[in-house]
Chains A and B, each alone.
Chain A
């Protein structure tokens, strides 16, 4: 049975990334992100979500990409807890039966766990994010 998987397609610097819808709790606009000195440098801050504070990551900062903080905030459930992810924009829901292709050998240090593979979407390659590997 070829059951499709649904992904949210988002963009950073004009290039596409995917995250499984099953891990997505909410798409919102960046609001009330508070600085928190107890969080490490890599965090943008924290924000309130469903009555609790969750850490917010700026995905472009994590990936060493330039540009502003982004216009969308995704609340994502990871194995290490709920987190907010700032991204440039979200474009669409993508339903596909594709099995993600592995990132080829020789590209990344094997200790990097930011991606779960590659998907093809409208003639472009989209990197599938590993939501469990983003939090330290």
Chain B
């Protein structure tokens, strides 16, 4: 059985999320900060009448070290150029994830449960791995991204 997935790059690795209903891809933009939110929450984005929380999933997955606790200076504007925000919806909860670049939309067979190759990624957030043309694609579990707390 195949399902459609959206593939994207994060820190040079290939990831995918299941396409389920509407999805939007917008260039990265600053979000409205929410003090005392989870550290990986960039903020809130008001897009076409919907308020999306925006998750910095590189940090959420543990692909980078977390920043210092508390306030840090804003990153230089150039650092974020080229990044995109994927706006999606899981079980009627809208949210956005920041990715380095969007690769393509593609049908894939359902991921296997293998978690052997998840070096450096929080395994709770991964649904499984799919191989396509020798590429290893980590399929993220949208619902767990939302409730990773």
A positions within 8 Å CB-CB of B: 12, 15, 62-66, 101, 103-110, 112, 114-115, 118, 120, 124-125, 127
Contacts and interface: CB of A to CB of B under 8 A. Distances in A.
A106 B89 CA distance: 13
B44 A106 contact: no
Main SS class of interface, A: loop
Given A64-B70, A118-B51, A107 B41 contact: yes
B53 A112 contact: no
B131 interface: no
A112 B36 contact: yes
Contact of B53 (A63, A107, A127): A107
The secondary-structure label for the interface of chain B is mixed
Contacts of B145: 106
Contacts of A101: 51
Given A15-B33, A63-B35, A118 B149 contact: no
A106 B35 contact: no
A104 B36 contact: no
Contact of B32 (A64, A106, A108, A125): A125
Interface of B: 32-38, 41, 44, 46, 51-53, 55, 70-71, 93-95, 145-149
A108 B46 contact: no
B35 A107 contact: no
A64 B70 CA distance: 6
B35 A104 contact: no
Given A65-B71, A107-B44, A108-B38, 9 more contacts: A15-B32, A64-B36, A101-B51, A104-B93, A106-B41, A106-B93, A106-B148, A106-B149, A110-B149
A62 B34 CA distance: 12
A66 B71 contact: yes
Given A124-B32, A125-B32, A109 B149 contact: yes
Given A104-B94, A106-B41, A64 B46 contact: no
